[in-house]
């Protein structure tokens, strides 16, 4: 998919296909539910349920929901290559809790170390350091500062994710940030890669499930090593979000899996 325009053309085509076999008593998902609502409200000129909004929300969901997760997984793999001891502990936990079964989301509560590694990946990778830009819709007084209506606001997530009053080793990859002394997972209020407040990431729950399932599935099947031919670096690149730079790595199949 080259750009937003191409994506929109693709979604418009998809809507036409959905319309040809739409059954309001057997809705297949978001698009069908939206189209049924659109039909119900077609006489209302102020309805939000029209084609432009459907294409726009689909484009937003697609763009917000793909690169974010894939960049985070790329960081997680990079951190595993860079930290073989941490990778080994994740493998051990997977062997103990999941074995060769297919990873499921209910495994997560029994996998504090892996969960901490994923949280630490999101904290340390910091893929949206400047969040999404926002604008005040009315005059606001925030902590003694006047922000007139129309003020451009860039909440710096990085300032929280790397806050040394909240994280013991903010500039290191340190999964223990999310573990207590007994090795149990602990939540941190400063863990804000999804932002906070009313405009917090709409896909947060889905993203957390995806990250756990994708990461454990990859780690169950592979051990990740640096390529013997090239030096391995963990460095940020550029993009809509911030992924790591592209690198050659070796993915060695884990033999205990049949
Ligand atoms: C690692 C994965 C993800 C991260 C780190 C992430 C992070 C964020 C952040 C920081 C925002 C801006 C919130 C704000 O303005 O305060 C955001 C917005 C949003 N995200 Fe995510 N996101 C992720 C995955 C997803 C997924 C999987 C979806 C859906 C499929 C999604 C859908 C959205 C949408 C629709 C918004 C806009 C919300 C709004 O403006 O009200 N995100 N995300």
pTM of the entire structure? 0.91
Three-state DSSP at 235 gives coil
- By DSSP bridging, strand 152-153 and strand 222-226 are unpaired
- Rounded CA-CA distance 89/14 in Å is 44
* Residue minimizing CA distance to atom 31 of ligand 1: 203
Cα 224 from Cα 206, distance rounded (Å): 26
Q: Tell how far the Cα of 61 is from the centroid of ligand 1, in angstroms.
A: 8
Confidence (pLDDT) at 182: 97
pLDDT of 199 strictly over 50? yes
Best CA proximity match to 210, nearest among 1, 30, 66, 29: 66
Label residue 256 by pLDDT band (50, 70, 90): low
Higher-pLDDT residue of 6 and 124 is 124
Per-residue pLDDT at 8: 86
CA–CA separation, 113 and 240 (whole Å): 30
pLDDT, tens only, 112-164? 999 999 999 999 999 998 898 899 999 999 999 999 999 999 989 999 999 99
- Residues making up the annotated binding site for heme are 201
pLDDT band at 22 (very low <50, low <70, confident <90, very high): very high
**CA 204 to ligand 1 center in whole angstroms:** 7
pLDDT in tens, 57-87: 998 888 889 999 999 999 999 999 999 999 9
Average pLDDT of 33-53?
94
Q: Calculate how far, in angstroms, residue 10's C-alpha sits from the geometric centre of ligand 1.
A: 22
Question: Which residues are near ligand 1 (CB < 6 Å)?
Answer: 60-61, 64-65, 68-69, 72, 127-128, 131-132, 134, 193-195, 199-203, 206-207
For residue 163, the CA-to-ligand 1 centroid distance in Å is: 22
């Amino acid at each position: 998919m080259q750009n937003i325009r191409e994506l929109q053309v693709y979604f418009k085509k998809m809507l036409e296909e959905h319309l040809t076999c739409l059954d309001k008593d057997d809705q297949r998902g978001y698009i069908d539910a939206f189209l049924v609502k659109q039909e119900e409200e077609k006489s209302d000129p102020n309805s939000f349920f029209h084609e432009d909004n459907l294409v726009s929300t689909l484009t937003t969901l697609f763009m917000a929901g793909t690169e974010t997760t894939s960049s985070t997984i790329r960081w997680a793999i990079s951190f595993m290559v860079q930290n073989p001891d941490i990778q080994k502990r994740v493998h051990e936990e997977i062997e103990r809790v999941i074995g060769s079964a297919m990873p499921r989301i209910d495994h997560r509560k029994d996998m504090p170390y892996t969960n901490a590694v994923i949280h630490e990946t999101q904290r340390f990778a910091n893929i949206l350091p400047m969040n999404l830009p926002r604008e005040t819709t009315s005059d606001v007084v925030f902590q003694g500062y006047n922000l007139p209506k129309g003020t451009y606001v860039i909440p710096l997530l990085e300032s929280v994710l790397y806050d040394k009053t909240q994280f013991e080793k903010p500039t290191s990859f340190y999964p223990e940030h999310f573990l207590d002394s007994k090795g149990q997972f602990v939540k941190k209020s400063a863990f804000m890669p999804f932002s906070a407040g009313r405009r917090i990431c709409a896909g947060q729950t889905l993203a957390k499930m995806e990250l756990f399932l994708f990461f454990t599935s990859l780690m169950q099947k592979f051990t990740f090593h640096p390529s013997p031919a090239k030096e391995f670096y963990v460095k940020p690149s550029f993009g809509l979000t911030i992924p790591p730079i592209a690198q050659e790595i070796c993915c060695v199949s884990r033999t205990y899996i049949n």
